[in-house]
A and B are shown apart, each in its own frame.
Chain A
Amino acid sequence: MRKLFLSVIGFAALTATTAFAQDGARVSGRVVGETGAPLVGASVFIPGMSLGSTTSDDGSYSFVVPASRANGQTATLTARILGYTPTSVQIALTSGANINQNFTLTANPLHLGEVVITGAGTSTTRERLTTTINSVDTAALQRASSPQNVVSALAGKAPNVEVRTQSGEPGASASIKIRGNASLTGTNQPLFVVDGQPIDNQTNSTDQGPNDFTGTGGTVSQNRAADINPNDIESIDILKGSAAAAIYGARAANGVVLITTKRGRQGPTRITYSSTETWDRVDPKDILQHQFGQGSSLATGTPVAAVCGGLDCALDRRSWGPAIAAGTPTYNHLTEIFDTGITADNNLSISGGNDRTTFYASGGLTAQNGYIVGPNNKYNRGSVRLKASHQVNSKFNIGGNFNFIDTRGNYVQKGSNVSGLFLGALRTPPNFNNKDYLTASGLQRPYRFPNPSSSDAFIGRAYYDNPFFVLNSPGNRSELGRSIANINLDYNPTDWLRVQYTLGGDYYNDWRLEALPITSAGDANGHVVRLDLNNLEIDHNLIATAKYDVNPNIQTTFTVGQNLNSRRFRDIYNAGEQLIAPTPLSLNNTVSVQGTEFRSLRHIESYFGQAETNLWDQLIVNVGLRNDGFSTFGESKRRNTFPKASAAWIFSKALGDKASGLLSFGKLRVAYGETGKEPPVYGAITALSSSAVFGSPGFGDVITSKFGNGGLVTGPVLGNNALRPERTRENEYGIDLGLFDQKADFSATWYNKRASDVILNTLPVNTSETGAFFTVANGASLTNKGYELALNARPVTLANFAWDLGVQFAHNKGDVTSLLGAQFITYNNEGFTGAIGSSTLGFAPGVIRGNDFARCGNGAIVDDVNGNSVDVDAYCNSVGAPKGALYLDTNGQPINDPTDRVIADPNPKYTMSYTSSVKLFNRITLSGLLDVRKGSQVWDGTRGILNYFGTSKESGEKRTTTDGQFGVNYLTDKYPVVTGPGKGTVAFTNYADWQAWYNGEGGGFGNTGALFVEDGSFAKLREISLAYTLNGNFLKALGGFTSADIRISGRNLHTWTKYKGLDPEANLGGAEYLTQGVDYFNHPQAKSFVLSFSLNR
Chain B
Amino acid sequence: MKNIRRLAPVAALSLLGMAGCNFLTGGETQVDPNRPTVATSRQLLIGVQANLWGLWGSDPSRIAGIFAQHFTGNQSQYQSQIQNYSLNETVTNGLQTSLYGGGGLVDIKKVEAGAVAADDKFFQGVAQVLEGATMGTGADIFGDLVYSKALQNVSNGLQQASGDFPNPPLDGQLAVYDSVQTVLSAAIANISSTRTSDVGPTDADLVYGGLSRTAQRAAWIALAHTLKARYYMHTAEVRPAAYAAALAEAQQGIKSDAGNYVGAFQNASGLQNFWYQFEVTAGRTGYVVPNTGFEDFIAARNDPRRTQYFKTTAAGEEISDERLAPDFQQPYVTYDENTLIWAEAAYRTGDQATALTKLNEERANHNLAPEAVAGQALLREILSEKYIADFQLGQEGWNDYKRTCFPNLVPTGTGKIPGRLYYDTSERQTNPTNIPNPGTAPNGTRNANDPANATSDGDGSACLGQ
Indicate with 1 or 0, residue by residue over A847-874, a CB within 8 angstroms of chain B CB atoms.
0001100100011111111110100000
Q: Does residue A826 face the partner (Cβ distance < 8 Å to B)?
A: yes
Contact with A along B142-153 (1 / 0, CB 8 A): 000110001111
Q: Is the CB of B100 within 8 A of A771?
A: yes
Residue pair B150, A769 in contact (C-beta under 8 Å): yes
Interface string of A823-867 (1 = CB under 8 A from B): 110100000011010000000000000110010001111111111
Asked if B81 and A601 make an inter-chain contact with CB atoms under 8 angstroms apart, the answer reads no
B440 with A311: CB separation less than 8 A: no
Contact stretch, chosen from A15-23, A340-348, A695-703: A695-703
Contacts of B173 in A (CB 8 A): none
Contacts of A822 in B (CB 8 A): 429-430
Docked-complex contact A685 and B429, CB < 8 angstroms: no
Interface flags, A127-171, vs B, CB<8A=1, else 0: 000000000000000000000000000000000000000000000
Question: A714's closest neighbor in chain B, by CB?
Answer: B102
B410 interface hit (Cβ, 8 Å):
no
- Determine if B50 and A707 form an interchain contact, defined as CB atoms under 8 angstroms apart: yes
Contact B102 A715 (CB under 8 A): yes
Q: Which residue in B284, B316, B443, B445 is a CB contact (below 8 Å) of A700?
A: B284
Q: A599, A713, A777, A834: which contacts B103 (Cβ < 8 A)?
A: A713
Q: Select one of B11, B283, B411 contacting A418, CB under 8 A.
A: B283
Residues of A within 8 A of B152 (CB): 769
Cβ–Cβ contact B415 & A699, under 8 A? no
Interface residues in A859-896 by Cβ distance below 8 A to B read: 859-867, 869, 895-896
Is B351 at the interface (CB under 8 A from chain A)?
no
Which of A314, A460, A491 interacts with B280 by CB under 8 Å? A460
Question: How far, in whole Å, are A999 and B314 apart by their CA atoms in the complex?
Answer: 24
A602 CA to B25 CA in the complex, in Å? 9
The one of A691, A824, A1000 that contacts B84, using a Cβ cutoff of 8 Å: A1000
- Chain B's closest residue to A684 (CB) is B30
The verdict on A707 contacting B314 (CB below 8 Å), with A599-B34, A764-B430, A859-B440 known, is no
A773 touching B103, Cβ below 8 Å: no
- A897 on the B face (CB < 8 A): yes
Taking CB atoms and an 8 Å cut-off, the chain A residues in 675-711 that contact chain B are 682, 684-711
Q: Residue B71 at the A interface, CB < 8 A?
A: no
CA distance A307 to B264 in the complex (A): 38
Could you tell me if A863 and B415 are in contact, using CB atoms closer than 8 angstroms?
Answer: yes
List residues of A (518-545) whose CB comes within 8 Å of B's CBs. Answer: 520-525, 540, 542
In angstroms, how far is the closest chain B Cβ from the Cβ of A1006? 4
Docked complex Cα distance between A991 and B125 (Å): 60
Q: Which of B349-393 contact A (CB under 8 A)?
A: none
Instruction: Tell me which residues across on chain A come within 8 A of B283, comparing CB atoms.
Output: 418-419, 460, 462-463, 520-524
Q: What is the number of residues of chain A that contact chain B, defined by CB distance less than 8 Å?
A: 138
Contacting chain A: which of B91-99, B178-186, B228-236, B400-408? B91-99
Map CB proximity to A onto B198-224 as digits: 1 under 8 Å, 0 otherwise: 000001101001000000000000000
Contacts A458-B315, A631-B30 known; A1005 to B54 CB distance under 8 Å? Answer: no
Given known A-B contacts A695-B95, A769-B152, A702 and B443 have beta carbons under 8 A apart: no
| Chain A, 563-597, CB within 8 A of any chain B CB | 564, 575, 577, 592, 594, 597
B98 touching A705 by the CB < 8 A rule? no
**Chain B, 46-83, CB within 8 A of any chain A CB:** 46-51, 53-55, 58-60, 75-77, 79-81
Q: Report the bound CA distance from A419 to B282 in whole Å.
A: 10
B197: Cβ under 8 A from any A Cβ: no
- Distance, CA A763 to CA B159, complexed state (A): 15
Cβ-based interface call for A363 (8 A): no
| CA of A692 to CA of B54, assembled, Å | 8
Are B80's CB and A861's CB within 8 A?
no
Q: A687 — nearest CB in chain B belongs to which residue?
A: B35
Closest residue of chain A to B296, judged by CB?
A: A311
Check B58 against A703 for contact (C-beta < 8 Å): yes
A1000-B86 CB under 8 A given contacts A630-B24, A712-B43, A766-B430: yes
Inter-chain contact B266/A768, CB cutoff 8 Å:
no
Whether the Cβ atoms of A770 and B271 lie closer than 8 Å is no
Cβ of A457 under 8 Å from chain B: yes
**Interface status of A720 (Cβ within 8 A of chain B):** yes
Task: Tell me if A1005 and B427 are in contact (CB < 8 A).
Answer: no
CB contact list, A277-335 vs B, under 8 A:
308-315, 317
B: interface residue count bin = 35 or more
Q: Are the CB atoms of A768 and B146 closer together than 8 Å?
A: yes
> What is the CA–CA distance of A577 and B14 in the complex, to the nearest angstrom?
49
Given known pairs A524-B283, A630-B24, A865-B414, the reply for A687 and B37 (CB within 8 Å) is yes
The residues of B that contact A698 with a CB separation of less than 8 Å are 282
B35 pairs with A689, CB closer than 8 A: yes
Smallest CB separation, B286 vs chain A (Å): 6
By a CB distance below 8 angstroms, the chain B residues around A701 are: 54, 58-59, 274, 277-278
A312 pairs with B89, CB closer than 8 A: no
Q: When the two chains form their complex, are residues A525 and B280 in contact, meaning their CB atoms are under 8 A apart? A: yes
Find out whether the CB atom of B94 lies under 8 angstroms from the CB atom of A851.
no
Report if A863-B80 is in contact (Cβ < 8 Å); known contacts: A682-B32, A689-B35. Answer: no
* B442: Cβ under 8 A from any A Cβ: yes
Q: How far apart are the CA atoms of A28 and B55 in the complex, in Å?
A: 85
Whether the Cβ atoms of A710 and B43 lie closer than 8 Å is: yes
Q: A705 vs B39: C-alpha distance in the bound complex, in angstroms?
A: 12
Contact partner, B47, options A711, A763, A764, Cβ 8 Å: A711
| Contact of A714 with B106 in the complex, beta carbons under 8 Å | yes
B424 CB to closest chain A CB, in angstroms?
8
CB neighbours of B84 from chain A (8 A): 1000-1001, 1006
Q: Is B172 an interface residue (CB 8 A)?
A: no
Smallest CB gap from B423: residue in A: A768
A395 to B3 Cα, complex, angstroms: 9
Is B59 within 8 A of A896, CB to CB? no
- Chain A residue with Cβ nearest B204: A708
A sample of 6 more A-B contacts (CB under 8 A), given A686-B159, A703-B50, A706-B270, is A317-B75, A592-B268, A600-B28, A605-B23, A698-B282, A764-B425
Residues of B whose CB lies within 8 Å of any CB of A are 1, 3-4, 7, 11, 14-15, 18-19, 23-30, 32-39, 42-51, 53-55, 58-60, 75-77, 79-81, 84, 86-92, 94-107, 110, 145-146, 150-154, 159-163, 165-166, 168, 203-204, 206, 209, 264, 266-271, 274, 276-286, 292, 295-296, 299, 312-317, 411, 414-416, 422, 424-427, 429-431, 437-445, 453
The 6 A-B residue pairs with the shortest CB-CB distance, nearest first, are A711-B46, A771-B106, A899-B439, A700-B277, A695-B59, A313-B316
Q: List 12 A-B contacts (CB under 8 A).
A: A315-B316, A458-B314, A685-B37, A701-B278, A709-B46, A711-B44, A763-B161, A769-B151, A769-B153, A858-B439, A898-B438, A900-B89
